[in-house]
Each structure stands twice: as C-alpha cells, then as structure tokens.
Amino acid sequence: MNDRRSFLFGALAVPLLTAVGPWQLMRKATAAAAQDPVPITMLGTPRGERVWFEPQGLWVAIGQTVRFINKDPANVHSATTFHPDLYGHERRIPAKAKAWNSDLLLPDAHFDVTLQIPGVYDYYCLPHLAHGMVGRIVVGTPEDVGWTEEPYYQSSQLEGQRGTFPEVQALLTKRVSPTHQ
Amino acid sequence: MLSYSRIAAFSICSVFAACAYSGDKTTADMAPPSAPYAKVSSLVKLPDFIPGLGTLYVAPETLPAGPFLGYDKDGRLSATIYMIPIKALTEGTAWNELKTGAAEVDSVDIYYNAGHPGVEEPHVHVVLFHDDMARQRLESK
C-alpha cells in the first residue's frame, strides 16, 4: 500500500514540478510570506523596571505589514510615530508617509500597519518615551523610487530623550533586526 | 499622681492605638472600596488585574503617589502601593502622612518602574503587603 502511495505521489509530483517549475513555487511561497505580518512584540519585566520593543530595529520590503503585539501582561504599550500630527513631535518618518498610532494596547492586543512608502520610520511607546522605549523600521532601500535622505536618521540618538535607535546602515546591510540589549 | 511607669504605659498604649487607627477608614477590606476610590482600569487604560499589584483602586486626587489599594482575585485587600516619581523626589518633593489601606503590614517591597498610564514618568513603587500570603495572591495569573 505504501509503495503504491509513493508511486502515485511520484507520478503526480514530477509532472507538476516540471510544469510549474521550482522558481514559480518559490515565488508563490515568497509572496505568501510577504503577506504575513512581521511581528514586533512589546515586552516588559514583570515589575516594569524595563520595557522594550522586540526587535527594536527591523528592515522590511515595501508593502510589508508589521504587527505590533503587546506581550507584557502587566502594562499597556503603543507604537506611535514621531510626527507633528501626534503630540507635536518632530517628524521622523518619510515626508510622504502618513503618521500612525496604535494607541494604547492592552495585553495580547495587536495593531497592524502596512508600510508603502520607502524610508525610515521611528516610533515610540506613548507611556514609555521617558524611559526610552523607541524603535525603528527601515522600509525598502535607498535605491527605491521615493526614498529621500532625511537628517533625522543620520543620528541614532533621540535628542533630549532617552532612547537610541539602531543604525540604518546596519539594518540595511543585515536585513535582519539586531536583538535588544 | 501618675507614676513614670504609668505614663510610659499610657504612652505605649496610645502609640498602639494610633497605629491601629492609622489605616484609612474610608477604605474597605473587600473590594470595592467606597468613593472617592475608583478602579484604576476605569480611569486609565490598564489591565483590570496587574500581576504583582492586583486590582488597583485609587482616589484620583491623590495621584500620582496614591495610596493605591491592591486587591487579590477574591477581592481581598492585600497591598497598599505608593508610586513616587523620581524626578519630583530628587527635586525635593516630599509626600507625608500618606494613608495605608490597612494597619497591619507584613512586608514592604520597593522597586523602580519605567511608567504606565496614570504615572507615566519613571517612578518608584513602594508596596506594603498586608499579610504573609498577600504577595503570592497578587502574583497569581
């Protein structure tokens, strides 16, 4: 019976792979992966001594959806872009991008945002900016149409506040996020 | 004429009596405490039950220091919590004669907190546990 199943699988799989081609299968898999939101979790120690985004820095392709999830059972968090429309902060997202704000998320709640404009997005947690709970997402690359050089991401320090952003070049080079220190 | 020993005994009794009544008599051993106390999760966006602190009630006019009253999942008063902003403390602000939720205090924890709605700046939690099992009850998830 098992031999017969193996034979049938082989008989069906070989023509299928030949017809569709491995590249097409890979492209389909990549497209499916791109549609899945990339998670960024909001975390804290049990007593709230430390709070952070994990990963703190992330590179994603244009059009990728990012999901912020609060996994801190003892606190609420937000993912809020630095923008004059939101609490009067200086802009730290691409000029053509819309500001976004998850507002406060209770434990296990989440917020999705799809990033269509290439560039650097800096964000923070509303109740924890004073603590330096900030994060950075790089969308696309400087070679993409629409990417503009901006002074705000030349420095990894947040002026007048605690909080340090991962270097843009490091995120672009590795295309993976550094772990939280 | 009162002897020194009687005066001393009277003084000690007075101190014990004062301690016995140092708890805030507007609060309750069981949730919910009476007004002006209000559930913290109804005032700001926070979980109803916070592991380590319990279900919190506070009189809004006492913010940010409190006292916050922490109740366990059965509604039993288990802790009194004060939240002291570090910046104000270092600038010389003092908080005096803060009420306690109950007179009996078994142990005290003091630790840093990065902030949360209601007390957003970095501050210190001073947690008075009212019995020897209170900490365990408040940790329960």
Q: What is the pLDDT along chain A (181 residues), one digit of tens a residue?
A: 444 444 444 444 444 444 444 444 444 444 444 568 999 999 999 999 999 999 999 999 999 999 999 999 999 999 999 999 999 999 999 999 999 999 999 999 999 999 999 999 999 999 999 889 999 999 999 999 999 888 899 888 877 777 889 999 999 987 754 444 3
- Please enumerate residues of B whose Cβ is less than 8 A from a Cβ of A: 45-47, 50-53, 111-117, 120-122, 125, 141
Cα–Cα distance for residue pair B20/A67, rounded to 1 Å: 52
pLDDT in tens, B70-85: 999 999 999 999 999 9
Distance from CA of A48 to the nearest CA of B (A): 5
- Please answer yes or no on whether A49 and B111 come within 8 Å at the CB atom: yes
**pLDDT above 60 for B18:** no
Whole-complex ipTM: 0.75
Residues of B in contact with A73 (CB under 8 A): 47, 51, 141
Per the model's pLDDT, the better-predicted residue between B53 and B28 turns out to be B53
Q: The domain spanning residue B135 has which CATH number?
A: 3.30.200.270
Three-state DSSP state, B10: helix
Residues of B in contact with A124 (CB under 8 A): none
Contact (CB, 8 A) for B124 and B83: yes
Please tell me the predicted confidence (pLDDT) of residue A20. Answer: 47
Residue with tokens 């200086």: A90
Per the model's pLDDT, the better-predicted residue between A93 and B22 turns out to be A93
For residue A51, give the chain B residue with the closest CA.
B114
Contact (CB, 8 A) for A103 and A81: no
Mutation for B interface: A49, A50, A103, A105, most B CBs within 10 A: A49
Residues of B in contact with A46 (CB under 8 A): 51-52
B106: containing domain: 4-139
Phi (first) and psi of residue A51, to 5 degrees: -140, 150
What's the distance, CA A157 to chain centroid? 20
- Top CATH class, A37-174: mainly beta
Among A74, A106, A127, whose Cβ lies nearest the Cβ of B52? A74
Q: Structural domain tally of chain B?
A: 1
Domain ranges of chain A: 1-35, 37-174
Count Cβ atoms below 10 Å from residue B83 Cβ, excluding itself: 24
Residues of B in contact with A49 (CB under 8 A): 111-114
